[in-house]
Chain A
């Protein structure tokens, strides 16, 4: 039996991935760029959950939680892209800084 990879490594990678995702979500000038950053952050959280779930082999609660996170992420992206299409139809651009009306 080989020695497992320490938990510390997974946590460092997940922290770095979350920080990069946050930087992407803040700096991109497009709603779709922000969505890509959000996906990176959700993946970092899933990586944490699964890394801890390795030490819970009977119930695997972390993996079950990660499964639900994936489902919610899929639903979120679907609705967000429908909204992006409506916003593009109305404003002619998807830069979030140019959306300055609540009602047309």
Chain B
């Protein structure tokens, strides 16, 4: 049963990723990215990371995906026709297909060869506890306090820097 759910979410993530690769419409690619992120969040739950699955949904779907769709809408090339009934598709041709596919397939074969030959020595037993929130919170506030503060400063810098960069500085 658990394995069937795993295959469902893995198929969701990989199928949407292949759709992103094949589609020409950038907007469809953004929506397929949503499905792919949901699939990855399901895989997170299946490997015992409940808090990270919720974080994935909130940060990626609530933040990054909305930003990407805003970026598509603000920078699309105007290729609309006069016919008001037809949809304004944001079409996009792909380039370097041969090199892209060769590179990715060879990388995939190398990774598969590495994974099948490796013998991982797993020290601990699999997760048995219900929730990981307590462990994550205690670790963030004790042994990972410095990276936590640095991440906060990084987010502040990114916020100010992005607002400054996106400012329209042209005099016209």
- Of chain A, the residue at the smallest CB distance from B44 is A50
Q: Is B125 an interface residue (CB 8 A)?
A: yes
Known contacts A36-B29, A66-B52, A70-B56: A83-B10 contact under CB 8 Å: no
CB within 8 A of A72: which of B2, B70, B77, B154? B154
Secondary structure call for the A interface: helix
A50 vs B122: C-alpha distance in the bound complex, in angstroms?
14
Known contacts A29-B95, A60-B132, A67-B55: A74-B63 contact under CB 8 Å: yes
In the complex, per-residue mask of A68-91: 1 if CB is within 8 Å of any chain B CB, else 0: 101111111111011111101100
Secondary structure call for the B interface: helix
- Of chain A, the residue at the smallest CB distance from B111 is A15
Report chain B residues within 8 Å CB of A71: 59, 151, 154-155
- Of chain A, the residue at the smallest CB distance from B161 is A79
CB within 8 A of A12: which of B68, B115, B136? B115
Q: Is the CB of B47 within 8 A of A81?
A: no
In the complex, per-residue mask of B27-53: 1 if CB is within 8 Å of any chain A CB, else 0: 001100100110010011011110110
Report chain A residues within 8 Å CB of B151: 68, 71-72
Can you list 18 contacts pairing A with B, beta carbon distance less than 8 Å? A11-B115, A19-B104, A19-B108, A20-B14, A22-B100, A22-B103, A27-B97, A27-B101, A29-B94, A32-B26, A73-B60, A76-B158, A78-B158, A79-B161, A81-B162, A81-B166, A85-B75, A97-B95
A: number of interface residues (CB 8 Å): 73
Known: A27-B94, A55-B124, A81-B70. 12 other contacts (CB 8 A): A2-B1, A4-B126, A13-B43, A17-B13, A20-B18, A23-B100, A55-B123, A70-B52, A77-B68, A81-B162, A85-B75, A85-B166
Known contacts A36-B33, A63-B132: A23-B92 contact under CB 8 Å: no
Distance to closest chain B CB from A20 (angstroms) = 4
